[in-house]
A and B are shown apart, each in its own frame.
Chain A
Amino acid sequence: MRLREIEKLAAALGLAILLGVSFVAYRNTLQFIDDSAWILHKHRALGGLVELLSELKSAEIGQQGYLFTGDKRYLEPYRDSLDNAERLSRSLVGRIGSTPEQQQRVASLSRLLAAKFNDLSRLVEVRRNRGLAAAQALLDPDADRSLLEEIRALADVIKAEEEALLGQRTERARRVARNTLWALGIGSAVSLGLLLIAGYLFQSEIARRRRSEEMKARMLVEMDRVHEDLREHRSRLEELAAAQTKELQRSNQELEQFAYVASHDLQEPLRKVQAFGERLERKHAADLSEEGRDYLMRMVKAAERMQGLIGDLLTYSRVNSQGRVFAPVDLRQVAEDATADLELAAKECEANIVINDLPVIEADGMQMRRLFQNLIENAIKYRAPERAPRIEVVAADAEDSTEAAESRPDRACRIEVRDNGIGFEDEYRERIFGMFQRLHPRDAYPGSGVGLAICRRIAERHGGTLTGTARPGAGAVFTLILPVAQPKGGHQP
């Protein structure tokens, strides 16, 4: 349960208890008032009973006085007391008698009292009208005493009963008062406690919220700082990357410069070796022995080969520095032109070269032509001896050919050059793109081993890739992936 709910519950409970206590106290107080009135009433009634007996005695004393003396002065207090006793006796009914037994007793008492009053009045009448003797003749002290005792006894019983009731009622009133006090005390204590708990919870909730607000603010500050740090790091990294890219471009340029100068300067003496070798062969061959002529021939051939190597190195080094501006190029046209250049070689081995529909992309047309020429030339060169070469240039499905991808600026096309030649072992799939890397002895397949390196370099200059896969004896597939559009400024360093 969440703190908020506990807090609400505590407050609600406190309120409910307070209401309950108030209700109980209200009800008890009503009861108490009621009881108190009743008790007062009973006390009065009991007082009346006592007074009645006392008045009865006074009346009797007055009557006795009159009976024996005949003095009329006794009659006045006698009459007052009798009147009072009769009035009190009448008022007993209704004031006393909450139980049927008690009512019965009260009724009996009333009857007895009426008899007594009657006796008293009769004797007084007799004394006044017929004198003392007649009255004394009527007087029966025993009967009189027994009636009085009966009245007294009954009054005592009634009184005792009423007092018992009164005691019960008083006890109940006291209990109610005590209960009310307890209920008020405990209820107040409990609700006070609950209200204190709710208040404490509320207080701690506020404190918690304040703390969490502070924490949030601190975290925001911290996050800002972290963001700032990240931004700094990123910009530093970007600077570093830019610096490294620049450095790489510079070192690339230097390398190209070196390769260019080296190959150019290497060509000079080589040309001399070739030229003078030729002069020697032409003018002085007759002066040489058979062995001498063989040496000379080997020398001239080696020089020729070196010429080829240097030429390729030069071409390789100039892919980037001597590249032309990118313009829309119809790759199909380019591939067909490249094939036309190889017509003679293709005819010689009855090669079947199929150029499928290829896309138009932004590229260096000359380099694209060179790329296709090298790839097709390779496919012819490394044909399987037992079958006529079949070479296919196709635009394969790019990974993403949806309409959304079609319109993306970094869209790429995928072109495959497939052949049915001798292929190569998979472990050489990267090595074949290295400079001067060959998989076969020179006398089996002539060439400098730079062709594929140049192809890959051309692909990379266009922001693309060139990879090869093959199985020995089952042909090779060279996959060219090129961006359709070039970014402004191109990929040249």
Chain B
Amino acid sequence: MTRPSDPVRILVAEDDPDDQLLLRDALAEARLANQVDFVADGVELMDYLRRKNRFASLAGSPLPGVLLLDLNMPRKDGRAALAEIKQDPVLKRFPVIVFTTSQAEEDLVRSYELGVNSFIVKPVRFETLIRAINTITDYWFQIVRLPPIPESAP
């Protein structure tokens, strides 16, 4: 269990380094106190959540409170990762926000069917991106009550 005063950790699954940079910039401009971790694809994401391989050292540290998930990623894409998370008895309680450039209706529908909590199309303009980040953090960290966060997945 983590202390309520600790800012919740944000995990971003995003393969594009440019997008990572822009997100970092936006998060910085939004002046968030939350720590943000990045993983580059679905495989890394699952390793991170399960504290395996490269992320074994994180064992014991708290899991992130919110996951921003890109759908189009190499090795294992966001759709497969989302399906896996939502089938996991512990991980399925985390809010997952799809954060993608895809505007395809089938992606939208499929994501909600898999149990995603929000579906956000990446804003084109940086200003909008900052606004979106602010809205997301406001909503998930100020308004919404999140489930208790376990130390790590089983």
State whether these chains interact.
yes
Interface residues of A (CB under 8 A from B): 264, 267-268, 271-272, 274-276, 278-279, 282, 307, 314, 322
Is B134 close to A, CB under 8 A? Answer: no
CB–CB A275/B101 < 8 A: no
CB–CB A274/B18 < 8 A: no
Assuming the contacts A264-B102, A268-B16, asked whether A278 and B127 have C-beta atoms less than 8 A apart, the reply is yes
Question: How many Å lie between the Cα of A279 and that of B22 in the bound state?
Answer: 9
Q: Which of B2-10, B40-48, B87-95, B118-126 contacts A (4 or more CB under 8 A)?
A: B118-126
| Cβ-closest chain B residue relative to A281 | B126
The smallest C-beta distance from B106 to any residue of chain A, in angstroms, reads 8
Specify which chain B residues have a CB less than 8 angstroms from the CB of A272 in the assembled complex: 18-19, 22
CB–CB B22/A275 < 8 A: yes
Tell which of A267, A279, A282 touches B101, judged by Cβ atoms closer than 8 Å.
Answer: A267
Interface residues of B in 118-141 (CB under 8 A from A): 122, 124-127, 129
Looking at chain A's contact residues, the main secondary structure is helix
Is B37 close to A, CB under 8 A? Answer: no
Tell which of A267, A275, A314, A322 touches B129, judged by Cβ atoms closer than 8 Å.
Answer: A275
The smallest C-beta distance from A225 to any residue of chain B, in angstroms, reads 54
Interface residues of B (CB under 8 A from A): 16, 18-19, 22, 25, 101-105, 122, 124-127, 129
The smallest C-beta distance from A484 to any residue of chain B, in angstroms, reads 27
CB–CB B101/A278 < 8 A: no
CB–CB A264/B105 < 8 A: no
Additional 12 contacts, C-beta under 8 A, given A274-B125, A275-B125, A279-B126: A267-B101, A268-B16, A268-B101, A271-B124, A272-B18, A272-B22, A275-B124, A275-B129, A278-B126, A279-B25, A307-B124, A322-B104
Q: List the 10 closest pairs (A to B, CB-CB), nearest first.
A: A278-B126, A272-B18, A275-B126, A271-B124, A275-B22, A274-B124, A279-B126, A267-B101, A268-B101, A322-B105
| Cβ-closest chain B residue relative to A277 | B126
Specify which chain A residues have a CB less than 8 angstroms from the CB of B127 in the assembled complex: 278
The smallest C-beta distance from B150 to any residue of chain A, in angstroms, reads 35
| Cβ-closest chain B residue relative to A272 | B18
CB–CB A271/B122 < 8 A: yes
Specify which chain B residues have a CB less than 8 angstroms from the CB of A267 in the assembled complex: 101
Question: How many Å lie between the Cα of A275 and that of B21 in the bound state?
Answer: 11
CB–CB A264/B101 < 8 A: yes
CB–CB B18/A278 < 8 A: no
Question: How many Å lie between the Cα of A368 and that of B120 in the bound state?
Answer: 27
Write 25 A-B pairs (CB below 8 A) sorted by A numbering: A264-B101, A264-B102, A267-B101, A268-B16, A271-B101, A271-B122, A271-B124, A272-B18, A272-B19, A272-B22, A274-B124, A274-B125, A275-B18, A275-B22, A275-B124, A275-B125, A275-B129, A276-B18, A276-B22, A278-B126, A279-B25, A279-B126, A307-B124, A322-B104, A322-B105
